[in-house]
Structure 1
Amino acid sequence: MDWYVIIDADSYIFWPNTALWLGTMDPNLKFYFGSAVNVAGERFAHGGSGIVMSRVAVYDIVGTAARWDSNIRERCCGGLVLGLAFKDTRLNYRIGGR
């Protein structure tokens, strides 16, 4: 897949607009988009607002996924653990708008 989207069941995506917008970007670049929130000093994309990740971004963290499983129980939310996994790759990901 070129793009991966995480969205909560109580949110709605306008798929035609989302597809048009993503069509303007290269999935071979490292993208991790979402509405930024801070919890305990950690900034991450909030899952309830939706998270979009490019192919390359997902490939970067897939190898570390098992290492993060135990952290799910210790943290408030999956979006935070996902953000920490991206941060752990020590790659430059940008969260939020502009």
Structure 2
Amino acid sequence: MVGPLISDELALSPVEFGWVASAFFGSFALLQIPVGIAFDRWGVRRPMALMMLVGAARPLDGFIRFLVRVRWSGCGRNWMRADLHGRSVLSRTTTFT
């Protein structure tokens, strides 16, 4: 039902969409038994909370790595500091067109 809509939105060929779908369903099937055991042992709340934390931490991890790379590379040295008026240095030195 939604396969063609997703394929059109992401500009995927039928083969590429098949790989995406199989990756999702393969990982889902792979985790059925360990997650079921965890649910039986600790109930649903604790494993679900842990899975949600792990899922939410991945994008945050990527953002933190980006900030560290920008800071260490020296590229962000000027735009990460603010001047006395609260505007970034980048906004004074660069025109956006």
Instruction: Give the TM-score taking structure 1 as reference length.
Output: 0.25
Higher helix share: 2
Give the number of the structure with larger relative contact order, counting CA–CA contacts within 8 Å between residues 6 or more apart.
Answer: 1
Instruction: Give the TM-score taking structure 2 as reference length.
Output: 0.25
Higher strand share: 1
